[in-house]
Amino acid sequence: MQIAIELPDELGKQLLEMPNMQLFVQNAVEKMLLERQKQSSQLLIELFNDLPEFPTFKNQDPLKLQTALRNEWD
């Protein structure tokens, strides 16, 4: 996949003069994306851990409760 990016002229010249420029840019982008993915996963874990406990489900299996309620409808 190829993506075009725009940089100020001076930064573009510096980037092109770097040895192994493509590998450097690719590694930097991969690192940034992996870090972003890791942060996103952490946010989901934190969100899940912050959910309140419902006394309705205390000491019982929510799936069994759901099944029992559905069986009442039949």
Evaluate whether residue 60 is within a structural domain: yes
Helix (H), strand (E) counts: the chain: 3, 0
* Residue 48: domain span: 21-73
Res 18: pLDDT: 80
What is the pLDDT of the chain when averaged over all its residues?
81
Q: Is the pLDDT of residue 3 over 80?
A: no
Evaluate whether residue 51 is within a structural domain: yes
Q: What pTM value is reported for the model?
A: 0.42
Total domains in the chain come to 1
Evaluate whether residue 65 is within a structural domain: yes
Res 24: pLDDT: 80
Res 45: pLDDT: 77
Res 60: pLDDT: 81
For 71, half-sphere exposure in the C-beta direction (CA atoms, 13 angstrom radius) is: 6
Res 61: pLDDT: 83
